[in-house]
Each structure stands twice: as structure tokens, then as C-alpha cells.
Chains A and B, each alone.
Chain A
Amino acid sequence: MMVSSSAYLILSATIFTIGVLGFLVRRNVLVMFMSIELMLNAVNLAFVALSRQLGSLDGQVVVFLVMTVAAAEAAVGLAIIICLFRNKKSVNVDDFNLMKW
């Protein structure tokens, strides 16, 4: 018997929510970044589940492209974190508060 798509979608929503929670609560910039990756993964799961439900492979192609974008984003984001660390010697996100007014 096939597992219904709703189960996968709820699982995806749960993981996504956990990722959002991690992003909002943690202060370490690297862990925040990892929670972003969690969110992306959750979305990938949702896409694949729906792709199976609808019987078309477009969802899987989107997942492929999302992974590509996530890779690019991870590279650039980590480079930024390295730059920030070099300037402030800290990975506490509350220390990077110059973007105001």
C-alpha cells in the first residue's frame, strides 16, 4: 500500500518548521546557515512527493535545479561568513548589526 502524499508533505512541513525555528533561535551564524539548508531539503522532499503524486517528472527537475542553486548559495554564503569573521572575529550574528537606519 502506498504511503499517501499528505504524510510526506506533513513531514516536509515539519522539517521546514524546524529549520525556521533554528534560524530564528540560534545565534551562531553557521548553524543558521545549516537551518537554511534544512529548509531547502524539506522543500525538495515536498517537490518529489508531489511529483510522484501527479505522475510527472517536472517536480524532480525542479529539485535538481534547487540543489544546484543551494550549492551555489552555500559557496557564496560561506565566503561571506569568512569575510565577516575576518572583520569581526566572531560568529555571533548579533554582532553584525550595522545594517540599520
Chain B
Amino acid sequence: MNYVYFVPLFPLIGFLINGLLALARKSYSDGKHPLKSLVSWIGCTSVGLSFLASIAIFFELLALPAGERVVQKIAFPWILSGKFHIDVGFLLDPLSSVMILVVSGVGFFIHVYSTGYMAEDKGYARYFSYLNLFTFFMLMLVLSNNFLLLYVGWEGVGLCSYLLIGFWYEKKSAADAGKKAFIVNRIGDFGFALGVMLIFWTFGSLNFSHVFENAPHVLALGGGLVTAITLLLFLGAIGKSAQIPLYIWLPDAMEGPTPVSALIHAATMVTAGVYMVARCHALFLLAPVTMGVVAVIGAATAIYAASIGLVQNDIKRVLAYSTISQLGYMFLACGVGAFTAGIFHLMTHAFFKALLFLAAGSVMHALAGELNMQKMGGLKKYIPITFWCFLAGTLAISGIPLFSGFFSKDEILWKAFSSPHGHFLLWLIGVATAALTAFYMFRLFFMTFLGKSRMDPQVESHVHESPKSMTIPLMVLAVLSVIGGYSGIPHSLGGSNRFEGFLSSVFEHGHSETQAAAYHAVSTEYLLMIISIVVVVIGILVAHRFYIQNLNIPKRLAIKYKFPYRVLFNKYYVDELYAIANGIASVVKGLGVLIRKTQTGYLRNYALSLIFGAMLILVYYIFR
């Protein structure tokens, strides 16, 4: 269990070394970094070693009996201030071990991919140092045993997201996108911080085990306090995981390099919100109102984002909206009490979404940076490896049986229907979203790889398959997208659902509720499964009809239904709404002019106010 210290430590060391190497670059006159291979080795092996440590921890946890798979390791006490006691401590249980496996595993393959993708970039060392730093913070986030350390990781991944989105900072749109991401995240983080403060005020401690064990005794079921705490925590999750209304930063975040989009905005950072809700399930289960809010927002986001993805032409934007939509699914799962299903979908989504993003990057690499799907087509013969990997990812996300996405998505849909917190409407929205997902994903697939080529002739002459450093991670992730679901085959299909069993010790509370409901009507489960498969296949066939057989249909539909098309295309004009925020800002500015008068610039005036304040405090305490 002492391996746990290595898990975040190696990426931190990688960051420090790569950071120094990045600074050293400035003294070299030509663009390429001379120590590039050293940077690559350090960057990738640091995460690779974390991954090996995570595997070791996983097996050690398995060796423990099922009810006792909780280990806390405290590195050192951090804050000791009266009653406020915070350690730098790590909590190892099935949930955190799943998370570190996903983060370090997928992260490792993305690091390897980046060595190929970013090979020509001037900021190579800086890129890897940021990527390592991000991995460090994310691992701290999921391993921490108290709210404050989780918040440190939370903020840290937000910072790295900003740095990496705006990686090509000379490009204005990239710099703006980075700022937008950070500011929108901040709003969520504000709510999260308030939630954490409320928790401390209620419980007197921020340690997870202390808070969660005492929660049922201290907080009234459905009471105002616990609802407030959970809503505030969820606000943080909304910001971090791009749900309505704080999702606007994610599509713009596609300005960053594609491996960044894969790692941060598909597999890991955006899932931090889901992890947090799952970790705090003890609190959320005490607040049915919040659970309802979580489920509704999750479902609404899922279908909303899917609808926007239907008409986007930028390959990465479609994937971005798809991520928002899939995150909606995860929150829907948590909202109905199916935390295990949510985490299961988190894992499979990490596999296939990272795969899709990396494959899209491979397409862009082949086409020298082209993003617009309207200028693609017929790529199958040029880049076959990418083609097959992309197909695997698309099948997985659409929820085709035998692929991982099917098992996880179906689990969520079933629980949305059957759980005591669930509702028929939630299930219906989930199924509709599944249809839309299949449609837009296959639309993307058909437009990019099949059909007649619409490429620029000059671009077409240079199309080439990506180097091995990029294609091998693609293939690994493709395999995982297929087989990753087999650990969670539900009982109704004859599987043992070992994933759920593994996590059940974590989610004992929620589990007993939903499990009781699930044991009824296995036939209903089959029925729902078949409905969702049928719906998905219809989606695929429609996409096929539109984009392979008769390309005129989508064009005619766009003209006929011009208004909905434009609304969707412009993402419901939400960005323009945010301009209202500018108006509020100018009011505050006017107030600022008034208050500005106190900033005279004269040192002695400031000293005077200091003494005045000190005197006031003294007088107050004397007269107390």
C-alpha cells in the first residue's frame, strides 16, 4: 500500500524536470528542443510508473476481504490550527483505485500519443510539463482523503486546463478559450468552496470518513442544511463537468491540442465532478431534492448537447458536445442513485472518448490540420488503422451490443427507469439521447471516412497514416473500448457484474436501495434493452441514409427547417446571452470609481488606516 505515494509523486517529478527543461529551451536559437527524447521519456515513464503502481494497489485491494477494502495512508500533517486539522492523506478504496487506474492508464497512452502528435511543436517540453502537472493534480484529487486536498486537486486541474487550452497562446482564440474555461470553472468552484465551508461548519472536520460516517446522525434526511451543502457541491460539479448552464467552456476548449482534449476534456478532468458526487454519495442520498436536481440536469444536458452536436461541422466540436452529453448520462446515473453505473460509464467513456479524440487528431494529422468535416470524406483507403479504431469508438459510444458503451449506457438507462429515485421520463430522455448520439456519431463517421472525397486536392495528395507512436495508443484504446465493458455485464444477461461487486463496498447505502428495485422484473430490463438497441440502430440507419445514400436530404432538411437548424448551429445563442454579464460588469465599474477614491497612493494614508483598524480591534476586544 505504500505504492500510493508513488502514484502522484512520479508525475510531479516529471513536471519539475520537464519544467526546468522547458525553461532551458529559451537559450537555443532554433525551434526544436534538443533534449526532446529526454522530455518524452520522462513525461511518459513518469505516468507509466504511476500506472504500474496503480495496478499494484488494485491487486492489493482485491486481496483484502470485500468489506474491508478501505485503507487510509497519511503522508504528513499539513494544517494544524486548533480544531482545524488537515493531513495530506490518501484514501484507497475501490472507487479511488478505479479512478487512478483510468487516469494513469489512459493518461499514459495519451502521453505516448503526444510524443507523435506534438513532435514538431516548439513548446514540446512545456507541453509535457503541463501534462505531467495535470496528471499529478488529477491523481491528488481522486486519492485525497479530505475535502481540502480534493479542492487543491480540483483547482490544480482547472489551472492546468487553462494552461493547456491556451497552449498556443499566440493565437487569440486559444487564449480567449483558456480564459473562458477558467472563469466559468471559477463560478462552479465558488459554489464548491462554499459547500466545503458548510461541511466544516457542520461537522468540524473535512476528513471523508469522519464526515460520511457521521452524516446520517448529524444531518436530517431531506433537511435544508444537507440540501444546501449538496447543491453547492453539485454547483462545483456543474462547472467542472460542463453541465447546463456552465458548459459553454468545453466546446471552446477544443482550441487546445487534441491530446489535451482527449485527456482533460474527455477522460479525466471533466469526470472529476462525477467522482466527487460519487464520493459524497452519503451526503447526496440524504438530500432527495438534490438528487432530483442532479438527475434532471444530467438528463437535460444529455439531450441538449446531443441536439447541438447534430449539426456541427467541426469534428472536434461534435466530440466536445458528445462529451457534455455523455457526462449528462453519468450525472443522471448518480442522480437516480446508481453511482456504480455512473462510474462504470465514466470508465468506458474514458476509453472510447479518448480513442475518438485521438483518432480525430490522427485524421487532422493526416489532413494537415483540417477540422471541417465538410472537407473530408473517403478517407478509409488512406488511413485504415485510424478508420478501424474510429469505427470501434463510434460503435462503443452508440451503445451497440458487445461494445463497452452498451453495457454502461444500458445500466444507466435501466437504473433511470427502475430505481426508486428514477422516473419514466428520465429514461425516455435517455433513450432519445441515445438515438441522437448514434445519429450524430455515425454522421461524423460517414462524413469523415466514407462516401466521396470532398477534400482539397492539395491536401488529399499528402494524406498519410500517422506514425506508430500515435496509432499504437489508438489500437490499445480500441481494444479497451470493446472489452472494457465485460467487467460489468449485468446479472440479467448472465454475467456476474464484477465491476458492480467491486464497487459495492463503497456504495453500500445507495446500492441496497437500487438493488432491491432491480431484482424485480428482469423481463422489463430485457424489454428496455431491446428498445434502446432498436432506437440506436434506427439512428444509425437514418445517418446512413442522410450521409451516404442521399446527400441531398440533409441539405433539403436544413433549408426546410431553417430556424431550428440555425438555432442548433449557433448553439442556442447561449454565448450571446452571456454578453448580459458585460452589462452587469459596467455597473460594478461605476461603483468602483467611487471606492477608488480611497486608493490615494500615499503610503502614510495606508498606514493610518492600518493603525485605525488595529485600534478598532483593540477597542472592541477591551469592551467585550
Contacts and interface: CB of A to CB of B under 8 A. Distances in A.
A and B pair up: yes
B611 interface: yes
B607 A94 contact: no
B29 interface: no
B600 interface: yes
A24 B599 contact: no
A87 interface: no
Contacts of B607: 23-24
A20 interface: yes
Interface of A: 20, 23-24, 27, 93-94, 96-101
B604 A97 contact: no
Nearest to A27: B604
Contacts of B82: none
A27 B607 CA distance: 12
Given A20-B611, A24-B607, A24-B608, A101 B602 contact: no
A100 B608 contact: no
A96 B602 CA distance: 7
Given A20-B611, A24-B611, A101 B603 contact: no
Q: Pick from B596, B603, B611 the residue with the most CB of A within 10 Å.
A: B603
B65 interface: no
Contacts of B602: 93-94, 97
B77 interface: no
A93 B602 CA distance: 8
A27 B603 CA distance: 10
A100 B600 contact: yes
18 contacts: A20-B611, A23-B607, A24-B604, A24-B607, A24-B608, A27-B604, A93-B602, A93-B603, A93-B604, A94-B604, A96-B603, A97-B600, A97-B601, A99-B601, A100-B600, A100-B601, A101-B596, A101-B599
Interface string B579-612: 0000000000000000010011111100110010
Q: Which 9 pairs between the two chains have the least Cβ-Cβ distance? A: A100-B601, A97-B601, A100-B599, A101-B596, A99-B601, A93-B603, A97-B602, A101-B599, A24-B607
Contacts of A94: 602, 604
Nearest to A97: B601
A37 to B, nearest CB: 15
A32 B238 CA distance: 52
A32 to B, nearest CB: 8
Interface string B486-508: 00000000000000000000000
Interface in B376-415: none
Contacts of B601: 97-100
Nearest to B596: A101
Interface in B472-523: none
B600 to A, nearest CB: 6
Interface in B45-78: none
Given A20-B611, A27-B604, A97-B602, 11 more contacts: A23-B604, A24-B607, A93-B604, A94-B604, A96-B603, A97-B600, A98-B601, A99-B599, A100-B601, A101-B596, A101-B599
Contacts of B604: 23-24, 27, 93-94
B496 to A, nearest CB: 63
B573 to A, nearest CB: 36
Nearest to B606: A99
A94 B603 CA distance: 7
A84 to B, nearest CB: 11
Contacts of A93: 602-604
A99 B603 CA distance: 9
A93 B611 CA distance: 18
A20 B609 CA distance: 12
A55 B599 CA distance: 46
Interface in B421-469: none
Contacts of B611: 20, 24
A59 to B, nearest CB: 22
Nearest to A17: B611
Interface in B271-320: none
A90 B161 CA distance: 47
Contacts of A100: 599-601
A27 B596 CA distance: 24
A99 B601 CA distance: 5
A70 B180 CA distance: 44
A24 B610 CA distance: 10
A99 B608 CA distance: 16
Contacts of B596: 101
A64 B599 CA distance: 37
A93 B607 CA distance: 12
Contacts of A97: 600-603
Nearest to A93: B603
Nearest to A26: B604
Contacts of B608: 24
B488 to A, nearest CB: 59
A97 B605 CA distance: 11
A82 B599 CA distance: 25
A23 B317 CA distance: 60
A100 B599 CA distance: 5
